[in-house]
């Protein structure tokens, strides 16, 4: 009997721990303030000082329970979901963008529960000159983010797309912030894929058909980070003629694409992408130093930083200079 009890003990403990973990998940705060955190004036996430009630000096603490890594990870993820909402709000307040729902005609439920959304500038359907489209990478990041880790552990400028949005608007661009990882909703405890946004590529195609294609902008540019580069190549292959007619520049930051593995890309499109594209990759070399690239692929240069997540922020000035150069080339060709 003792042996039987001992053999069943691990299963019993595992079951109890699973239920306990679920209870812990449900107990996480629902707001940044209730979590005990706030962003200071420098955009750094800090523990709220109990005396002043505002962001203090202490940074985010991952290991709140030294004996339970799973709990620490779940807490981090719960905080990350709150960060998503915080960044959405900043896109509207600091970025001066508007939330735009992507619709699908055959949706059976007429609510935002099964519709994805993006953020756009108020001139996206009136700016007849320039349009900039921002595409993040894969993983947990949502609209307006380059890297959640940077938002939590560094600051809002390095981790979000806000500096790109502000610079683009100063330079006269209409702006679209995509949300390619927004692919499902949980309804009645079941995961339901969002029609038209079932995956990142479908999301981008919906953005193209519903927004970009309806924009009057003559000159369109993309900035894509990491897996976002893969998605752009797939989008280009699906709307090839329109893409070549209207897109003048493709700036990638540490894109993980491989041109030779994109069987849907024609020789003509491949040549076009190589002409308009540049990929700022993680490297310890000075910013813009040429880096060796695979044959028949997009040029690669150093982003001036060795961390994958930092490549977008560190190469921003060079990216906008690149966009200006490509725009001038396009305009000269049209004369």
Measured CA to CA, the distance from residue 266 to residue 177 in angstroms comes to 28
Residue 145 CA, chain-centre distance (Å), reads 4
> Is pLDDT above 80 for 164?
yes
> Is pLDDT above 50 for 330?
yes
Collapsing DSSP to helix, strand or coil, 279 comes out as: strand
More confident site: 72 or 172: 172
Distances (CA, A) of 127 to 10, 65, 130: 64, 52, 7
Summarised one tens digit per residue, pLDDT across range 98-143 is 999 998 754 444 444 689 999 999 999 999 999 999 999 999 999 9
Give percent of the chain above pLDDT 90.
69
Summarised one tens digit per residue, pLDDT across range 36-46 is 899 999 999 99
Q: What is the model's pLDDT at position 113?
A: 60
Burial of residue 188 (number of CB atoms within 10 Å: 0-12, 13-18, 19+): exposed
Q: With bands split at pLDDT 50, 70 and 90, how would you rate the model's confidence at 18?
A: very low
Q: What is the model's pLDDT at position 65?
A: 66
Torsion 191-193-194-198 (CA) sign: positive
In this predicted structure, which of 108-117, 151-160, 244-253, 265-274 has the lowest mean pLDDT? 108-117
**End-to-end CA separation in angstroms for the chain:** 90
In this predicted structure, which of 47-61, 88-102, 218-232 has the lowest mean pLDDT? 47-61
Q: With bands split at pLDDT 50, 70 and 90, how would you rate the model's confidence at 64?
A: low
What is the average pLDDT across 194-205? 96
Q: Which of 77-91, 101-115, 321-335 tops mean pLDDT?
A: 77-91
> Is pLDDT above 60 for 163?
yes
Q: Write out the DSSP string of 83-148.
A: HHHHHHHHHHHTS--EEEEPP-TT-SS-SGGG--EEEE-TTTTT--SEEEEEE--SSS--TTBS-H
What is the average pLDDT across 194-202? 95
Active site residue 226: yes
Q: What is the model's pLDDT at position 168?
A: 98
What is the average pLDDT across 69-96? 92
Summarised one tens digit per residue, pLDDT across range 252-271 is 999 999 887 777 889 999 99
Q: Write out the DSSP string of 49-67.
A: PTTTSSEEEEE--S-S-TT
Which of 197, 215, 226, 255 is labelled catalytic?
Answer: 226
What's the pTM? Answer: 0.88
Identify the H or E element spanning 302: strand 299-302
Summarised one tens digit per residue, pLDDT across range 214-229 is 999 999 999 999 999 9
Q: What φ, ψ does residue 120 adopt, rounded to 5°?
A: -135, 155
């Amino acid at each position: 009997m003792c042996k039987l009890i001992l053999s069943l003990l691990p299963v019993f403990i595992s079951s109890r721990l699973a239920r306990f973990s679920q209870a812990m998940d449900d107990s996480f705060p629902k707001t940044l303030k209730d979590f005990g955190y706030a962003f200071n004036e420098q955009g750094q996430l800090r523990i709220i000082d109990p005396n002043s009630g505002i962001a203090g000096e202490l940074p985010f603490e991952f290991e709140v329970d030294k004996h339970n890594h799973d709990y620490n990870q779940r807490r981090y993820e719960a905080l990350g979901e709150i960060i998503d909402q915080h960044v959405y709000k900043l896109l509207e307040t600091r970025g001066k963008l508007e939330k735009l729902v992507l619709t699908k005609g055959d949706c059976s439920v007429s609510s935002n529960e099964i519709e994805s959304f993006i953020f756009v500038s108020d001139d996206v359907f009136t700016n007849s000159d320039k349009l900039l489209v921002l595409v993040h990478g894969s993983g947990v990041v949502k609209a307006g983010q380059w890297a959640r880790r940077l938002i939590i552990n560094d600051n809002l400028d390095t981790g979000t797309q806000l500096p790109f949005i502000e610079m683009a608007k100063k330079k006269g661009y209409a702006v679209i912030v995509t949300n390619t990882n927004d692919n499902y909703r949980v309804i009645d405890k079941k995961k339901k894929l969002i029609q038209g946004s079932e995956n990142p590529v479908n999301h981008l195609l919906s953005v193209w058909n519903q927004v970009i294609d309806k924009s009057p902008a003559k000159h369109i540019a993309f900035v894509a980070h990491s897996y976002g580069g893969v998605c752009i190549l797939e989008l280009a292959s699906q709307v090839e003629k329109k893409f070549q007619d209207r897109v003048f520049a493709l700036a990638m930051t540490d894109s993980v694409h491989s041109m030779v593995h994109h069987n849907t890309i024609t020789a003509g499109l491949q040549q076009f992408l190589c002409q308009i594209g540049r990929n700022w990759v993680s490297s310890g070399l000075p910013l813009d130093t040429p880096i060796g690239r695979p044959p028949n692929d997009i040029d690669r240069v150093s982003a001036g930083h060795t961390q994958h997540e930092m490549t977008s922020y560190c190469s921003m000035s060079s990216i906008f200079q690149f966009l200006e150069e490509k725009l001038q080339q396009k305009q000269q060709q049209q004369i």
